[in-house]
Structure 1
Amino acid sequence: MTSRTWLITGVSSGFGRELTEQLLARGDRVVGTVRDPGKVADLAGEYPDTFHAEVLDVTDTAAVRQTVDRSFADLDRIDVVISNAGYGLFGAAEELTDAQIDHIIATNLTGSIQLIRATLPHLRAQGGGRIIQISSYGGQVAFPGNSMYHATKWGIEGFAESVAQEVAPFGIGVTIVEPGGARTDFRYGSARVADLMPEYDGTPAHAFQKMLDPANGLAPGDPARMAARIIESVDVEPAPLRMVLGSQALENTVTVLRDRITSFEKQTELAASTDFPPDE
């Protein structure tokens, strides 16, 4: 098994924490970013030589660049960069505040974009590497009451798919990971909920409340198994562009994409009607 060095954002909980624990246990090196170093003090104590905690708020672009530059300089080479930091925001679009909208875009979308951009010169200079963007099957499928989360995930998937084509000539692979519901803090701890309006009670916009309540059943996804599949993907060549994790997520994604294709195919004549005639 090849030993690697990883840079992972948001390692205090959820997938970031699970990935870090598995990688350290197998002997890899990890630079993990957190906002509160106290949440990873145990890892720093257990793995003083292979775990490097960096305090970082990914909404601070200057700090993102400084952290990336310092990490590559200190460790000589980083093989895999995992853009993981992010959170969910629930509520109808009308219920969200301007500040909530600005913050989730700055974290989930802009933060991920700037992290990837900051790593590219280093990955090119070292002759390659792998970028893994943690998205969600919510980057392909949209549900009511989750509009801004979907906006960030659909956005980062378009960015990552484009960048994958740009950097392939340099030996840099890009993978977008689309997990389904998992038993992490994302759903049962870190999820943020808008100040809900009674006008939306009983409508699809508030259906998410049932999902966020563990009393209604836990998510089917196992974070440990999902993290293991993500780690294993780095050995796959060429890098898979997308990985859907979770049977429910895959089923829902395929259903939605098939419906979308059917809808597009019905528009063949409409689309052609807007072209110049072949002889013009």
Structure 2
Amino acid sequence: MTRTWLITGVGSGFGRRLTEQLLARGDRVAGTVRRPDAVADLREVHGGTFSVHVLDLTDTDRIRGVVDEAAARWGRLDVVVSNAGYGLFGAAEELTDAQVTHQLDTNLLGSVQLVRAALPHLRAAGGGRVLQLSSSAGQAAWPGSSLYNATKWGVEGFCEALAAEVAPFGIGVTIVEPGGARTDFGHGGLRFAEPLAAYDVSPAAAVRAFRDGGPPGVVGDPGRMAAAMIASVDQSPAPLRLVLGSDAWTAITGSLEARLADVRRQRDTAPATDG
């Protein structure tokens, strides 16, 4: 079945891998980029099935127009992949107000507005899929990534509620939770706070080592991860979460078990506030 996909951030990382695989198999892709030259090669080869739309997710006023433009270009949208985003690292106190705002605007508000803009088109098509790129950081939190965690936890809450809201329309929602992957995320998708000496002794300081290319020992194969995302669209019902990578599984299950244990310890004290 030939599908039309809208994917944000196709210039690199998972967005690029998804686009390459989809175009190779004959699907249509409307891809957003901040720099059109980043996908000039794909456009040259696949001009008949690949449209390029310039978009920065912080420009929320433009998001709906770009989504409408993509839908008009291909006549419908079947799958929307909210992929664009980046990682901001550093202790919460080390970050500037501008950094905090930009991280929230890009990863959280941009993702929310993209999905909101796409829903009328998916309903008009009689159904479809939304794939929201999260991370193992959407379930597990680490010192030095508080704002990145905030955006991923936020978008996961949004999508979990959204899935129930749009199920009657035949729209499935999948939250993608990859672990580390050997993409260029570590070279262009990471931004850092200016270190404060006071945090040299904090666990948050560990993320400073990622400045030279991301964490070591990354096991995830980005091509396989992209293929798994594509395959998930054929699953019915849509999986609410798609965990990719042994490191992601370990981090997420460890976090969930610790949180559940903490809550269970309060089983007897929680009812004390009942009226």
> Contact between 2:85 and 2:189, CA under 8 Å: does it hold in 1?
no
Deviation string 1:118-151 (CA, Å, 9 cap, x unpaired) is 0111111111000000000100000000110000
Residue equivalent to 2:59: 60
- Equivalent positions of 1:163-202 (< 5 A) are 163-202=162-201
What CA distance in whole angstroms lies between the structure 1 residues aligned with 2:6 and 2:72? 13
Could you tell me which residue of structure 2 aligns to residue 48 of structure 1?
47
3-state SS of 1:41 partner: helix
Structure 1 gaps of 5+ residues are none
Instruction: Indicate the RMSD between aligned Cα atoms, in angstroms.
Output: 1.3
Report the number of matched residues: 275
Name the structure 2 match of 1:246. 245
1:257 alignment counterpart: 256
Matches within 5 A, 1:1-280: 2-214=1-213, 217-276=216-275
Taking the aligned partners of 2:217 and 2:21, their CA distance within structure 1 comes to 23
Q: For 2:21, give the aligned amino acid.
A: Q
Alpha-carbon distance in structure 2 between the residues aligned to 1:97 and 1:70: 35
Contact 2:57 2:63 in 1 (8 A): yes
Return the letter of the residue paired with 1:53.
V
- Using the aligned pairs only, state the percent identity: 60
**Structure 2 counterpart of 1:119, one-letter code:** A
Alignment partner of 1:207: what SS?
helix
Give the AA of the match of 2:216.
G
d(CA) in 1 for partners of 2:96 and 2:216?
A: 30
Please state whether the residue corresponding to 1:33 is helix, strand or coil.
strand
C-alpha distance 145-216 of structure 1, shift in aligned 2 (>3 A) = closer
User: Does structure 1 retain, via aligned residues, the 8 Å contact 2:2–2:26?
Assistant: yes
Shift of 1:252: 1.4
Query: Offset at 1:83?
Result: 0.2
TM-superposed deviation, 1:62: 1.9
TM superposition shift of 1:215: 9.3
SS of 2:18's equivalent? Answer: helix
* Amino acid paired to 1:191: L
Normalising by the residue count of structure 2, what TM-score does the alignment of the two structures yield?
A: 0.97
Separation (CA, whole Å) in 2 of partners of 1:199 and 1:259: 29
TM-score relative to the length of structure 1: 0.95
In structure 2, runs of 5+ residues without a counterpart are none
CA distance in 2, matches of 1:53, 1:89: 27
Deviations along 1:28-77, whole A, 9 cap, x unmatched?
11000000000100000010101101001111122100011111122111
AA aligned to 1:127 is G
* Distance in 1 (alpha carbons) for counterparts of 2:13 and 2:89: 18
CA contact (8 A) 2:90 2:208 kept: no
Q: Mark the CA change 1:215 to 1:56 in structure 2 (over 3 Å): closer, same or farther.
A: closer
Judged with a 3 Å threshold, the aligned counterparts in structure 2 of structure 1 residues 45 and 109 are, in CA distance, closer, same or farther, namely same
Deviates more, 1:181-190 or 1:244-253: 181-190
